[in-house]
Amino acid sequence: MTSDLPLCPPWDANPHPPRFSMPDGAYDTHVHVFGPESDFPYQSNRAYTPRDASVEQLFQLHDVLGFKKVVLVQASAHGVDNRAILAGVAKSPERIRAIAAVGEDVTDAELRRLHEGGVRGIRLNLVDKGGMPFSSLGALRVIGERIKDMGWHIEFLVHVEADEEFRRLVPTLPVPVSVGHIGYTKAPAGIDHPGYRDFLAMLRDGHFWVKLTGPYRISAADNFPYPDVTEKAHAVIAAAPDRCVWGSDWPHVIHFRGMPNDGDLLDALADWCPDEEIRRRILVDNPARLYGF
């Protein structure tokens, strides 16, 4: 290992199947792939060092969980070097889509190459070191115009309740916007936090897609079942059942509390959304639209 940055703990290698029947064609919309570092090096400006996590290991997980499609999301550790996700898509292009990271200087030819490689959006990580390659949030309006005709969207990792500038920006963008980790507002803040209330209102008005990911990242609990996340999950599903998607967040990088079992994370979805039809939309129909499968 070439860095003294924190080494991520290993994921739970013994996932159990979910307790409900997975609908045919289900999507896991949020995973990362890493390694080997010799082939896909990490940027020095990063917050953590991941363990190797391959597409083959991901497919072993999905065979247990029942997923048929997956979205590889560019991790901040890789900066704007998208080679790892493109190599991952190439291993099963009918099964995989990707979300890339680009800078303001990206060429139209590179955007087209990324599209042909399975990319369907760009990611801005406003939380972790090395995840924001743009000079300002305002610069995203320009890139939004450039990716609009390809049917792409912009995915943010952001604390939605705390970033008023971000909330002002979103209605001005010419492409759809998704946010991870149920808005990434810590559960103790509750849904009555003024910034989170604004977010929910914007969600109801059609300004956001939401990823039902990472409950362990916002919960005050160290281990599953993260009961304090349920209120937020219920709120976003009620606000926009046709703009919610689910993701495992495998391999759960930079998480140093109790490592979740991916089967438990799916079981949490069943608790958040007991309605089988809405759950099918979240797992199948909604991601099919957002990621252009």
Average pLDDT over residues 45-50: 92
Average pLDDT over residues 48-71: 97
Q: Please state the φ and ψ torsions of residue 211, each to the nearest 5 degrees.
A: -95, 125
Enumerate residues 6+ apart whose C-beta is below 8 A from 147.
111, 121, 122, 154, 175
Residue 1 inside a domain? The answer is no
pLDDT at 2 over 70: no
Match 């914007």 to its residue by tokens: 202
Residue 15 inside a domain? The answer is no
CATH assignment at residue 94: 3.20.20.140
* Confidence band of 1 (pLDDT split at 50, 70, 90): very low
Tally of structural domains, the chain: 1
249 is catalytic: yes
pTM of the complete model: 0.96
pLDDT at 130 over 70: no
Residue 240 inside a domain? The answer is yes
Tens-digit pLDDT profile for residues 225-249:
999 999 999 999 999 999 999 999 9
The whole domain housing 42 covers 27-290
Residue 20 inside a domain? The answer is no
Residue 190 inside a domain? The answer is yes
Rounded to whole angstroms, the Cα distance separating 50 from 218 reads 20
Residue 9 inside a domain? The answer is no
Exactly one of 28, 163, 249, 264 is catalytic; which is it? 249
Percent of the chain with pLDDT over 90: 91
Rounded to whole angstroms, the Cα distance separating 135 from 104 reads 8
